[in-house]
Amino acid sequence: MIFLRDTVSHAAYRRIWRECFNSLQDLLFDELLLKQSFTTLGAARLLCDIDCIQGVVESTSRGAGAALSMPRLKDGVTLLNLPILPENGKLSLKKACEEIFETSAQAYTALDELGISKITVLQARKILQNRVEAVN
């Protein structure tokens, strides 16, 4: 990334990496987040890994870190990492599951309350189904 940053124009650099990170986001979201089951520890580890990837991007991006972010993946991982017990007035995993699986209107309200805007209600439901503690 540093080599590309120093050799190609800023616009070309951003186009190259935006395409790479869009592909990575699609792969991780579709093949990992929507298909695998996660415990609380596994969800936390995935969040840490995504944050590390984003940290590398920001450290080498010449100010293009925000443009190279993976918002849909971050929203999915945020939903996956809801705490089992309510913390600081945020929705707990159980409460979020109740609201998101109730009606579409309640699901949109819950997602909005969580600050999640890049994933659909169906994707949110699938992600919550993959959380082991939500199923029990």
pLDDT single digits (tens) 36-70: 999 999 999 999 999 998 887 777 666 655 656 78
pLDDT single digits (tens) 87-132: 888 889 999 999 999 999 999 999 999 999 999 999 999 999 999 9
Instruction: Determine contact, residues 118/71, Cβ cutoff 8 Å.
Output: yes
Residues 69-92 have a mean pLDDT of 90
Instruction: Determine contact, residues 22/69, Cβ cutoff 8 Å.
Output: no
Q: Which residue has the higher pLDDT, 39 or 134?
A: 39
Which bin fits 103, alpha (ψ -120 to 50), beta or left (φ > 0)?
A: beta
Residue 130 has a pLDDT of: 95
Phi, psi dihedral angles at 91 (to 5 degrees): -65, 140
Tokens 């994707």, located at residue: 123
Residue 15 has a pLDDT of: 86
- DSSP conformational letter for 38: B
Tokens 């309640």, located at residue: 106
Burial environment of residue 5 by CB neighbours within 10 A (0 to 12, 13 to 18, 19 or more): middle
Tokens 């969040």, located at residue: 47
Q: Model's pTM, two decimal places?
A: 0.85
Please state, in angstroms and rounded to a whole number, the distance separating the CA atoms of residues 10 and 96.
41
What are the structure tokens assigned to 52, written together? 């590390």
What's the domain count of the chain?
1
Range of the domain at 89: 2-135
